Amino acid sequence: MSDLYFLSTRSNNEKILASQVIVRGIAGDGGLYVPELLPKIEKPMSCLEDMDYKALAFYVMEKFLTDFKEPVLRECISRAYNDKFDNPAIAPLTEKGGLYFLELYHGPTLAFKDMALSILPHLLKEAAKELNINKEIVILTATSGDTGKAALEGFANIEGTKVIVFYPKKGVSRIQERQMTTQKGSNTYVVAIDGSFDDAQKGVKAIFNDKSFNEILNVNNCMLSSANSINIGRLIPQIVYYVHSYINLIKLDKISKNEKINVVVPTGNFGDILAGYYAKKMGVPINKLICASNENNVLYDFINTGVYNRKRELKATLSPSMDILVSSNLERLLYELCSHDVSVINSMVGSLNKKGEFTITRDMKEKLLEDFYGEFATDDQTLKTIKDIYDNYGYLVDTHTAVACSVYKKYVEDTKDNLKTVIISTASPFKFPNSVMKAVNKKFTSYDDFDLLEKVAELSNCSIPKSLKDISKRRILHSMVCKKDDMGSTIFKILKI
Ligand SMILES: *Cc1c(COP(=O)(O)O)cnc(C)c1O
């Protein structure tokens, strides 16, 4: 297989292979690494039917990770997608009311972030080995709630790494916070900041771009890398489940060969839906990628007007993992829309930094609308959707998945499109018991999050996931807090520099 190179979205002067890209996380010029071209799925979809999740993961990922040796990549995959997942299908597809729910929450932290973060640590470790890097790799992560726990779980006790997670003190659910603060592993660190997710993400990006900061780490034998979806090592594993859902629909005889489908993706940082876009460009017959936002509807505005405007208040919604105003991965989509013209990207990024907004060209907007549709749901609509789905089908969905369902309803009303549709189900209802149960019946409003877990189990006919049992009794192991401007010094303190 020929080598696939990666470039920064902001300059053309460097081409590197996957191992380097995964170790570095973000490009030195502040841009994001993107593949020089998107490889094609050359086998007909119907010929992939016999592959289980692991075999398919290998088939898709080796197209990108061309400098990983075959047995090494296979080993990474088998360490990631095993009985850590509570469903042998890894990403089961459940049909309810004519819709297909791709349940991506059967991993150890109950959100779709596990799909990528259970493999990224292994990829990173192997990449560092291949490149003869002897430094300690410090994984720096900003989280809106789910990435943090998934990164901690993925990197805990991985030799040669430390993982530091910053989360917005008031921006995550109680269950999410407790999942993180009870994390075991001597190389794990969790810090609450007095700001929003955007503050945390901005802080992390600034640290990555701070040359003198990185030089100090360097002389102390450390280097930074990222577990956020700015790391392409997060995105590549996510392409797999789009292919997986399509071939499952064929296998179940729900669609014929090459029949187009829609996918609805609850979106925040634009990583998940971008993986879907890559899958489409690689050859998965996807009609529309439906971008579902909550009331922080910057992307809805962007898709419908061509103007990206972050100048607004961040709202705390019932789908906190999507409470984001600056969607990092959009830069990777823009790069495709402008046919890899880095000067266009630089001017848009510059405008976003200086003026808080940018506008895409007409040509880019036309291309955008070929592949995407954008809508949003309010909290009230989200709650009503949870109740409707439960009342009609006895199926409980979490708030993020409900945003997608609510948006899908609007899409059908608007377009009358009746293609088969996959709802990307990003979190378990057990992760947001308070909102989910309140939606089903107001009487649960007064219950504590932790007591509600039993109720979710009763209503959904599923037992409480292992990872949440007794969580309220587990010892809190992390209690660091810092001001949003002190993230750098906090890192030095942790690393004893
Ligand atoms: C992270 C997350 C999202 C948003 O995914 P992006 O890749 O950031 O767009 C949606 N739902 C849940 C539950 C998440 O954890």
Separation of CA 125 and ligand 1 centre (Å): 25
Question: What is the β-pairing status of strands 161-168 and 188-193?
Answer: parallel
Question: What is the β-pairing status of strands 161-168 and 136-142?
Answer: parallel
Separation of CA 269 and ligand 1 centre (Å): 7
Range of the domain at 442: 93-110+233-465
Helix ranges restricted to H, 252-378? 271-282, 298-305, 330-337, 342-355, 362-371
Residue 10 located in a structural domain: no
According to DSSP, residue 151 is labeled H
Whether the CB of 322 sits within 6 Å of ligand 1: yes
Decide: 127 and 22 in contact? Cβ < 8 Å. yes
Separation of CA 266 and ligand 1 centre (Å): 7
Whether the CB of 146 sits within 6 Å of ligand 1: yes
Give the Cβ contact number of residue 363 at 10 Å.
11
Ligand 1 atom, smallest distance to 266 CA: 10
Whether the CB of 292 sits within 6 Å of ligand 1: no
Residue 474 located in a structural domain: no
Ligand 1 atom, smallest distance to 268 CA: 9
In whole angstroms, what is the distance from residue 50 CA to residue 78 CA? 17
Could you give the angle at the alpha carbon of 294 between the alpha carbons of 288 and 295, nearest 5°? Answer: 130
Separation of CA 2 and ligand 1 centre (Å): 33
Residue 344 located in a structural domain: yes
Residue 404 located in a structural domain: yes
In whole angstroms, what is the distance from residue 275 CA to residue 231 CA? 12
Decide: 299 and 288 in contact? Cβ < 8 Å. no
- The strand pairing partners of 222, in sequence order, are 136
Predicted pLDDT of residue 450: 85
Best substitution site from 272, 299, 382 to test ligand 1's pocket, by max atoms within 8 Å of Cβ?
272
Q: Specify the number of domains making up the chain.
A: 1
Separation of CA 146 and ligand 1 centre (Å): 8
Closest-CA residue to 463 (of 440, 437, 429): 429
Whether the CB of 111 sits within 6 Å of ligand 1: yes
Element spanning 26, H or E: none
Whether the CB of 400 sits within 6 Å of ligand 1: yes
Residues 6+ apart with CB under 8 A from 89: 53
Whether the CB of 335 sits within 6 Å of ligand 1: no
Predicted pLDDT of residue 47: 86
Low-confidence stretches of the chain (pLDDT beneath 50): none
45 token code pair:
């979809």
Is 251 tagged catalytic?
no
In whole angstroms, what is the distance from residue 148 CA to residue 135 CA? 23
Whether the CB of 428 sits within 6 Å of ligand 1: no
Whether the CB of 205 sits within 6 Å of ligand 1: no
Decide: 103 and 425 in contact? Cβ < 8 Å. yes
Residue 383 located in a structural domain: yes
Ligand 1 atom, smallest distance to 145 CA: 15
Separation of CA 340 and ligand 1 centre (Å): 26
The model's pLDDT over 448-458, given as tens digits with 9 standing for 90+, comes to 888 899 999 99
Give the closest residue (by CA) to ligand 1 atom 1.
321
In whole angstroms, what is the distance from residue 234 CA to residue 412 CA? 31
Separation of CA 271 and ligand 1 centre (Å): 8
According to DSSP, residue 463 is labeled P
Ligand 1 atom, smallest distance to 274 CA: 7
pTM of the model: 0.95
Residues 6+ apart with CB under 8 A from 1: 62, 63, 66
339: left (phi over 0), alpha (psi -120 to 50) or beta: left
In whole angstroms, what is the distance from residue 462 CA to residue 1 CA? 44
Residue 68 located in a structural domain: no
Per annotation, catalytic residue among 63, 113, 162, 205: 113
The model's pLDDT over 388-403, given as tens digits with 9 standing for 90+, comes to 999 999 999 999 999 9
405 token code pair:
């369902």
In whole angstroms, what is the distance from residue 488 CA to residue 9 CA? 26
Residue 100 located in a structural domain: yes
Q: What CATH number should be reported for the domain holding residue 350?
A: 3.40.50.1100
Whether the CB of 321 sits within 6 Å of ligand 1: yes
Residue 12 located in a structural domain: no
Contacts of the segment 483-487: beta carbons below 8 A, 24+ positions apart: 483/193, 483/194, 484/193, 484/194, 484/195, 484/199, 484/200, 484/203, 485/203, 487/166, 487/191, 487/193, 487/200, 487/203, 487/204, 487/207
